[in-house]
Amino acid sequence: MRDDGYHDLVNVFHAVSIFDEVEAKESELVKVGVVGEWADQVPLDDGNLAIQAARALAKHAGRSYGVELVIRKAIPVAGGMAGGSADAAGALVACNELWGLGLPPEDLMEIAADLGSDVPFSLLGGTAVGTGRGEQLTGLETSGTFHWVFAIADGGLSTAKVYAECDRLREATGEAVGWPQVSEPLLTALRTGDAQALGAVLTNDLQPAALMLRRSLARTLETGRDLGALGAIVSGSGPTCAFLAADADHARDLSISLTASGVCHTAAPTTGPALGAHLI
């Protein structure tokens, strides 16, 4: 762990087509409302990352702007899919427009990095290697479209607790942890659009910790593999699990079977790479 409490990592980010919508309306104060399936789990106070994003942008502009943000949630809360980061990125883009600031992407990226490790990638989208605590990005070229299934769990996991459990497990096993490195076979599979090869090399160092905190995820992953997924992995810090499918039909069948098997709350097919936060 670093002195600032974060972990240096190498993370291959890949944006998928599950979007929250962030609407920005004129208002005296900065406030937020949330609608959608996961709305009741989202904080409406200053703990909300979209509120923090609006305030940080106003501060950067040196003005006391207000905004009413309305977030339509589709991304699970505390699901390991950077949903809060996506909302923060959406708020930056929306407020930049509403307030007529015209700030360039570089400025938004700088503000994003202060908000959270995954916010810069949520702005950028596509596929990218993240280093540092995840905020230093290098875009990656990929070929074609990858077909994924995301199995959403009941209830979330705290990212900080999963990292802490990862530290505990490493200490308990005395595992020597080298400097994080990007996997060349993974980059090659992404570049060539080879889903079979990509599925075989998916790994997540946070997965053992997420499995320790949520034992049922082992069965979720196993069920997806048994159903023919090309790869199965915990997404981010979990508890959402990601499965790679061969094509759109396979993804649809896999998501129906996973949902029916009862090993998750729901499973949904999606594709990547997708856009980062953008105006609609």
Nearest to 202 by CA among 144, 169, 244: 244
Least distance in angstroms from the C-beta of 130 to ligand C5P? 9
86 assigned binding-site residue: yes
277 assigned binding-site residue: no
Q: What is the rounded distance in angstroms from the CA atom of residue 75 to the CA atom of residue 274?
A: 14
Interface with ligand C5P (CB under 6 A): 5-7, 9, 116-118, 133-134, 159-160, 163
Q: What is the rounded distance in angstroms from the CA atom of residue 112 to the CA atom of residue 53?
A: 8
Determine whether 118 is an active site residue. yes
Contact predicate 234/80, CB 8 Å: yes
Provide the CA 53 distance to its chain's centre, in angstroms. 17
Least distance in angstroms from the C-beta of 133 to ligand C5P? 4
81 assigned binding-site residue: yes
178 assigned binding-site residue: no
Least distance in angstroms from the C-beta of 143 to ligand C5P? 28
Residues 6+ apart with CB under 8 A from 255: 149, 267, 268, 269
CB closer to ligand C5P, 87 vs 118: 118
User: Which is catalytic among the residues 118, 194, 205, 247?
Assistant: 118
Residues 6+ apart with CB under 8 A from 89: 53, 112, 119, 122, 123, 276, 277
CB closer to ligand C5P, 51 vs 244: 51
Least distance in angstroms from the C-beta of 182 to ligand C5P? 15
Q: What is the rounded distance in angstroms from the CA atom of residue 3 to the CA atom of residue 249?
A: 47
CB closer to ligand C5P, 133 vs 147: 133
CB closer to ligand C5P, 136 vs 143: 136
80 assigned binding-site residue: yes
Which residues are known binding-site members for ATP? 76-86
User: Could you give the residue numbers annotated as active site?
Assistant: 118
Which residues are known binding-site members? 76-86
